[in-house]
Amino acid sequence: MKWKKDKNDNTDNIEKIEKKNKKQKNKKKRKKANDQIVRIQELEEMLEKSGEDIDPETIVSMYVPHRKPKRIGAALLRMDKLNLVLMGMLLIVAVLFIIAFSQEKMGNFTINLNRLELYRRGISISETGEFNDATARLTASSVKDATNISIDDIPDNLDGESGSHNGKNYMAYTYYVRNAGKEDLGYIAKITLDSCAKGAEEAVRVAVWRNGKRVVYAEPAKDGSAEKGCVNFKSEDVVCSYHEENFLVGNVDRYTIVIWMEGDDPECVDSIIGGSVQFSMHIDSDIDDNTSLVWKFVKDIKDTLSGDKPINAAGNEAPNDSYYSDRDITWENRRNK
């Protein structure tokens, strides 16, 4: 009996110790929670002093450990519409910036036709001589991981194809310009150097075939003279320009552009490895038309209402008073053969 009594006493002691430990743990938890509440209250007071109106629930969602993510979502839903609109606009700008940056890095060769002064007057460009896809903007595919190549290794028949026809280590693109409008006019086609890196422009070559005649352009040599077999770039950012003063109705011009890094150029050295160049071609009117946009718009409406055969610049149809009134204007039946 004495042993049993001692056993009960030990059990009572153990229970007392466990209760005491449990109270101490609960006390520590309450103290920790109180410390967190104090810190949040202090933060809220600081924010109130700064003059900002902050929802306490938002503060709790951000600072209390192990808070469920849905609290943050709820806080976002409570934001006023103006803040949400601003956040949306910032996101759109960020996406556009990324897209623009990516496009720049691609190094594509683009051809841009002046829409207002040329496209609306019946001048268009196309990858094909039939002008089934007449437009005001074309983009050539880029060449990836290109290295240098000699001009002697580039095929001689590149002017005989259409659209993009790149080869190993060179870019080649052929397109057509057509006058299917109602009047003879002039244009200026200009190739520009838009960007470059690591001095790659010093060894680049740009060959241009215009209606079958080829000219090769390059940066001047170190002594200022022209590279062998080349014509110097017109300026630091302009490769060349072609002025067609009398682009008659029914005329079609063909351009082939070939770009490569010339391996035989003395400036083609190891330091330009990893470099890049980006070019574009712009086709503009050779006259400055100071007529207001409103008047041009009115004139287009007047032509439509009066039956004066308004220009269908996006397609093949030419007005009846053009050089060809009974068929489409193509490279094969062009006026300037």
Give the gyration radius of the chain's Cα atoms: 37
What's residue 328's pLDDT?
Answer: 83
- On the question of pLDDT at 105 being above 50, the answer is no
pTM, rounded to two decimals: 0.65
What's residue 88's pLDDT?
Answer: 78
Q: What is the mean pLDDT of residues 177-204?
A: 90
What's residue 232's pLDDT?
Answer: 96
Which of 275, 252, 250, 251 is CA-nearest to residue 265?
275
**Residues 287-311: tens digit of each pLDDT:** 877 777 666 667 666 666 665 655 5
What's residue 2's pLDDT?
Answer: 34
What's residue 4's pLDDT?
Answer: 39
Query: How sure is the predictor about 181, in pLDDT bands with cuts at 50, 70 and 90?
Result: confident
What's residue 80's pLDDT?
Answer: 64
Entry field: residues in the chain: 337
Q: Which residues contact 20 (CB under 8 A, 6 or more apart)?
A: none
Query: How sure is the predictor about 78, in pLDDT bands with cuts at 50, 70 and 90?
Result: low
What's residue 203's pLDDT?
Answer: 86
**Residues 116-152: tens digit of each pLDDT:** 889 888 899 999 999 988 899 999 988 877 788 999 9
Return the minimum-mean-pLDDT range out of 8-12, 132-136, 278-282.
8-12
- On the question of pLDDT at 106 being above 80, the answer is no
Which of 133, 189, 145, 143 is CA-nearest to residue 164?
143
Task: Return the higher-pLDDT residue of 148 and 254.
Answer: 254
- On the question of pLDDT at 333 being above 80, the answer is yes
70 burial class (0-12, 13-18, 19+ CB within 10 angstroms)?
A: exposed
Q: What is the mean pLDDT of residues 319-331?
A: 68
For the chain, what is the mean pLDDT?
77
**H-type alpha helices, the chain:** 2-49, 56-63, 69-77, 81-106, 293-306
What's residue 89's pLDDT?
Answer: 82
d(CA 330, CA 179): 10
- On the question of pLDDT at 7 being above 50, the answer is no
Task: Return the higher-pLDDT residue of 335 and 72.
Answer: 335
d(CA 319, CA 336): 19
**Which DSSP category does 78 fall into?**
T
**Residues 57-69: tens digit of each pLDDT:** 555 444 444 455 5
Q: In a 3-state reduction of DSSP, which class is residue 279?
A: strand
Query: How sure is the predictor about 104, in pLDDT bands with cuts at 50, 70 and 90?
Result: very low
CA angle 267, 268, 273 (to 5 degrees): 125
CA angle 258, 221, 201 (to 5 degrees): 45
Q: What is the mean pLDDT of residues 254-283?
A: 87
- On the question of pLDDT at 197 being above 90, the answer is no
Across 20-29, 99-108, 179-188, 290-299, the highest mean pLDDT is recorded for 179-188
